[in-house]
Structure 1
């Protein structure tokens, strides 16, 4: 299983306004998508989950999951930053 770290972390705010979360790897992204996502299922969230699975299987590089996660986070309006 490949969990790949992202070159740059992604900062999101999935819940309370004072609780930012820094996502640094594909496994972090998958955990947020599966456990802490604030909105019901959307196509972008499902695409991000599929991208994380593809990386974990070794089929894609981590940047694919990172980009899909950013798109889903923007869609859910929880993205605070993706270039720390």
Structure 2
């Protein structure tokens, strides 16, 4: 099981139009936010990175990290596909 596992996965459109990726944890989200995200700065992006790292270190709730990831996606205009 991934560190910081979420109760529900998140499927989002990658930078390649029409290509989707599903993630299930704060661990996966942190890697994407820090290495593959379409914007480099933003308040929601910073908050999501912090929430994901907190969840990985046991200082935060993975569901808080999931919510923060969704806010960062909204900030970056990343399409989230409904389950």
Q: Give the TM-score normalised by structure 2.
A: 0.89
Q: Where does the alignment leave 5 or more consecutive residues of structure 1 unmatched?
A: none
Residue deviations 1:21-68, cap 9 Å, x none? Answer: 111111110011011101121111010000011111111111010000
Q: Where does the alignment leave 5 or more consecutive residues of structure 2 unmatched?
A: none
Specify which structure has the bigger relative contact order, considering alpha-carbon pairs within 8 angstroms and separated by 6 or more residues: 1
What is aligned with 1:63? 63
Offset at residue 73 of structure 1 (A): 0.4
CA RMSD of aligned residues (A): 1.5
Q: Is the aligned partner of 1:20 residue 2:20?
A: yes
Q: Give the TM-score normalised by structure 1.
A: 0.88
The number of residue pairs the alignment matches comes to 82
Does the CA-based 8 Å contact 1:70-1:79 persist in structure 2?
no
Name the CA distance, whole Å, in 1 between partners of 2:71 and 2:37. Answer: 13
Q: Runs ≥4 in structure 1, deviation > 3 angstroms?
A: none
What is aligned with 1:11? 11
